[in-house]
C-alpha cells in the first residue's frame, strides 16, 4: 500500500535517522533476497512465455501480465519502501520522485489484482459456457491493456496529492527531514485509503472466491453442460482441473500475503494512536511490508511445481544457460514432457575442466 508506507511515528530523535542494528540487517537481507529472486524468477517466466509458442495460451498471457507487474512492483516497492522506512526514516529521493513512487506502487498492485480477476472471469466463461467462442490472443491483449489503463486511472489522486513535508511533528519533537505522503485532509485520506483497499484487495477477493468456487463445483461435482464423457474429453477436463488448482494457489498466495498489511492499515486508519501505544510497531509494519512484497517471487515456483509445460520450459531455459548455446540449439521438444522420462547429459572431463557434449532422453519402462 503506497499510502501507508510513510508514517511520521517511525522517526527517532537522532536527526530523524534510525539506528541500524541486527533487526535492520535481517530485514535488509530479506528485502535483497525478495528483489533478486522476484526479478530473476518473473523474468524467466516472461522469457519462456514470449519465446515458447507452446506456452502462449490465453491464461499464460494473463500470467505474463502478472509477471511484468511483479517485476515492476519489486523494483518500485521494495527499495523505495525499505530505504526511507527502515534505514533512513526520512524520504531521500526528492520532491519529484515522491508522487511518482506513491502512484506507481498502487498501480502495479492494482494490475496484479485486476489481472487475477480478468483471468478468473475468462476461466469462468470458458468452463460454464464451453460452446461460446474462446478468447483470442488479440482479445486478451486488449484486456491486459484495459487492466493497465484502469489501474493507472484509479490512483490519480495519489499522483496529484503526493508531497514531501520537510518539517513535521513526531514523537520526539520536530523532524527537519522530509517524509513522502498524500497531502489530504484526514477524513478524506481515510476514505480514499479505504476505497483503495476495497478495489485492490477485498472486492477482487470476493469476485475470485465466487468464480473459482463455482468453477470448482462444476469441474469436480457437476458434469459440464455440452461436454461429452469420452476419454478425450476427460483428459481435457483433467488438464483444466490442474490449471484451476494452480490458479487457486496463486489467488490464495495473493490473499494471504496482502492480508496482514491491509489489516494493519485498517487498524491505523481507525486509530492513529496505535503507533504510540504499540511498542515496536515500526518493525511489525516493515515485517508486513516484506511479507506482502514476497508475493512477487512465489508465482514462478508455483508454475514450476504445478504445471508440467512450465516445468518443461524452465528445464529448457536452464539447459540453454548451462550449455551456453555451444552445442546445438535446444528446442521445446528436446525436453521430455512425460514425468516418466528423464534427461541425461554427457560431459567430458579434461585437464581444463568439464565440457558439455550431449543431452538425451531415457524413457522409463
State residue 85 phi and psi, 5-degree precision. Answer: -80, -35
Q: Among all chains, which residue has been given the C-alpha cell 522469457?
A: 47
pLDDT at 346: 43
What is the helix (H) or strand (E) element at residue 164, kind and residue range? strand 162-165
Closest to 289 (Cα-Cα) out of 110, 58, 109: 109
pLDDT at 354: 42
Q: Which three cell numbers stand for residue 62?
A: 494473463
Q: What is the pTM of this model?
A: 0.78
Domain with CATH 1.20.1070.10 in the chain: 2-316
**b/e per residue 339-356 (b: at least 16 CB within 10 A):** eeeeeeeeeeeeeeeeeb
pLDDT at 141: 93
Cα separation, 273 vs 295, in Å, equals 29
pLDDT at 202: 92
Burial of 222 from C-beta contacts in 10 A (0-12 / 13-18 / 19+): exposed
Q: Class of 2-316 per CATH? A: mainly alpha
Per-residue pLDDT of the chain (365 residues; tens, 9 = 90+): 444 444 433 444 444 545 557 777 888 888 888 889 999 999 999 999 998 888 888 889 999 999 999 999 888 876 787 777 767 767 788 788 888 988 998 999 999 999 999 999 998 898 888 788 888 889 999 999 999 999 999 999 999 988 887 655 544 445 556 777 788 887 888 888 889 999 999 999 999 999 988 888 887 776 555 554 555 556 666 667 777 888 888 889 999 999 998 888 877 777 766 665 555 677 788 888 888 888 888 888 988 888 888 888 888 888 877 766 444 455 555 555 444 444 444 444 444 444 444 444 433 33
C-beta atoms surrounding 25 within 10 Å: 10
Closest to 58 (Cα-Cα) out of 128, 133, 150, 148: 133
Q: Which three cell numbers stand for residue 44?
A: 524467466
Burial of 280 from C-beta contacts in 10 A (0-12 / 13-18 / 19+): exposed
Q: 3-state DSSP call for residue 355? A: strand
What is the helix (H) or strand (E) element at residue 327, kind and residue range? none
- DSSP string for 328-345: ----GGGS--STTEEEEE
pLDDT at 365: 32
pLDDT at 16: 52
Cα separation, 218 vs 205, in Å, equals 20
Q: Which residues pair with 164 in a beta bridge?
A: 180
pLDDT at 364: 36
Pairing relationship of beta strands 168-170 and 341-350 according to DSSP bridges: unpaired
Amino acid at each position: 500500500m503506497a499510502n501507508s508506507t510513510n508514517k511520521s511515528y517511525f522517526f527517532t530523535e537522532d536527526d530523524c535517522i534510525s539506528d541500524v542494528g541486527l533487526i535492520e540487517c535481517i530485514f535488509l537481507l530479506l528485502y535483497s533476497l525478495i528483489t533478486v529472486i522476484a526479478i530473476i524468477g518473473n523474468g524467466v517466466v516472461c522469457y519462456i512465455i514470449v519465446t515458447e509458442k507452446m506456452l502462449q495460451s490465453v491464461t499464460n498471457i494473463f500470467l505474463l501480465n502478472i509477471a511484468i507487474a511483479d517485476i515492476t512492483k519489486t523494483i518500485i516497492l521494495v527499495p523505495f519502501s525499505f530505504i526511507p522506512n527502515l534505514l533512513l526514516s526520512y524520504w531521500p529521493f526528492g520532491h519529484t520522485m515522491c508522487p511518482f513512487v506513491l502512484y506507481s506502487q498502487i498501480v502495479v498492485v492494482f494490475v496484479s489484482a485486476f489481472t487475477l480477476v480478468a483471468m478468473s472471469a475468462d476461466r469462468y466463461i470458458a468452463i460454464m459456457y464451453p460452446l461460446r467462442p474462446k478468447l483470442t490472443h488479440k482479445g486478451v491483449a486488449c484486456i491486459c491493456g484495459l487492466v493497465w489503463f484502469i489501474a493507472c486511472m484509479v490512483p490519480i489522486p495519489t499522483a496529484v496529492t503526493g508531497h514531501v513535508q520537510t518539517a513535521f511533528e513526531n514523537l520526539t519533537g520536530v523532524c527537519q527531514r522530509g517524509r513522502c505522503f498524500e497531502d489530504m485532509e484526514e477524513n478524506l485520506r481515510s476514505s480514499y485509503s479505504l476505497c483503495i483497499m476495497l478495489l485492490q484487495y477485498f472486492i477482487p477477493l470476493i469476485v475470485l472466491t465466487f468464480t473459482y468456487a463455482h468453477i470448482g463445483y462444476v469441474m469436480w461435482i457437476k458434469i459440464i453442460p455440452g461436454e461429452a464423457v469420452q476419454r478425450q474429453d476427460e483428459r481435457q477436463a483433467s488438464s483444466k482441473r490442474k490449471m484451476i488448482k494452480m490458479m487457486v494457489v496463486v489467488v490464495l498466495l495473493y490473499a494471504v500475503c496482502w492480508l496482514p498489511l491491509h489489516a494493519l492499515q485498517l487498524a491505523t486508519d481507525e486509530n492513529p494512536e496505535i503507533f504510540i501505544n504499540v511498542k515496536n510497531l515500526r518493525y511489525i509494519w516493515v515485517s508486513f511490508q516484506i511479507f506482502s512484497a514476497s508475493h512477487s517471487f512465489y508465482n514462478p515456483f508455483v508454475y514450476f511445481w504445478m504445471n508440467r509445460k512450465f516445468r518443461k520450459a524452465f528445464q529448457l531455459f536452464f539447459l540453454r544457460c548451462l550449455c551456453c548455446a555451444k552445442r546445438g540449439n535446444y528446442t521445446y521438444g528436446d525436453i521430455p514432457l512425460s514425468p516418466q522420462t528423464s534427461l541425461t547429459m554427457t560431459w567430458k572431463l579434461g585437464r581444463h575442466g568439464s565440457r558439455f557434449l550431449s543431452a538425451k532422453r531415457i524413457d522409463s519402462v
